Amino acid sequence: MTRRLAAALVVAVLAGPALAQQQEPFEPEGYRTDNYRAPVPATLEGARVLTTAEAESIWREKRGAFIDVLPRPPRPKNLPAGTVWRDKPRFNIPGSIWLPDTGYGTLAAATEDYLRNGVERSSRGNKAALLVFYCLADCWMSWNAAKRVLSWGYTNVSWYPDGTDGWERAKLPTAESQPEPRPDR
């Protein structure tokens, strides 16, 4: 058990259940692997956590690459022949690269390669380039993706936990987006 986890448990026990429920979640040791739409921690070790105003400033000044990791809903199985299927449009921060399904806690090798290649293209191979990861508010997907990229040696990683929900609440522009092509599909 880490010191941080032990300290959080002591605080929860000593403060009582009411205070423990009010506290923000702490960072897990690894990746979040379930219940992805849940309150997220206020921090991500090694990354800068952005407010909407900070994310907007980076976006307006074109100082970083924005990477959306929101999953793409799959095409329903067993659709009758001839059924027209239309994906739900994704509106994200203009200029973003959309790498769907790359924020899960456990990634298949092909999905991890897809994320790695997308990040490498976005950063132009520069591990010090500013990368901003996001999806929706209270979504662990962007937290996981940013944490994973940090483990690959990227040093200028930012996490925008409010994602497109916060962006839209601030009445900032969005643009319809399509996922980056996947070589495995």
pLDDT of residue 52: 98
Distance CA 54, CA 58 (A): 6
**For residue 158, how many C-alpha atoms fall within 13 Å in the half-sphere facing its CB?**
23
Report, as an integer, the average pLDDT of 3-22: 44
Range from 26-30, 120-124, 171-175 carrying the lowest mean pLDDT: 26-30
Report the distance separating Cα 161 and Cα 25, nearest Å.
13
Say whether pLDDT at 7 is over 60: no
- Residue-wise pLDDT for 42-56, tens only, equals 999 999 999 999 999
Among the residues of the chain, which ranges form H helices?
Answer: 3-15, 17-22, 52-60, 109-123, 140-151, 163-169
Pure H helices in 29-130: 52-60, 109-123
Contact status, residue 94 vs residue 66, Cβ threshold 8 Å: no
Residue 80: per-residue pLDDT: 86
Residues 6 or more apart in contact with residue 9 via CB below 8 angstroms = none
Candidates 147, 148, 132; CA nearest to 51 is 132
pLDDT at 42: 96
Taking only the tens place, the pLDDT of each residue in 110-152 is 999 999 999 999 999 999 999 999 999 999 999 999 999 999 9
Predicted pLDDT at 24: 67
Beta-bridge partner residues of 22 = none
User: Taking the CA atoms of the chain, what radius of gyration do you get in angstroms?
Assistant: 18
pLDDT tier for residue 87 given thresholds of 50, 70 and 90: confident
How confident is residue 74, by pLDDT bands cut at 50, 70 and 90? confident
Per-residue pLDDT at 12: 43
**CA 177 to centroid of chain Cα atoms:** 16
d(CA 53, CA 167): 9
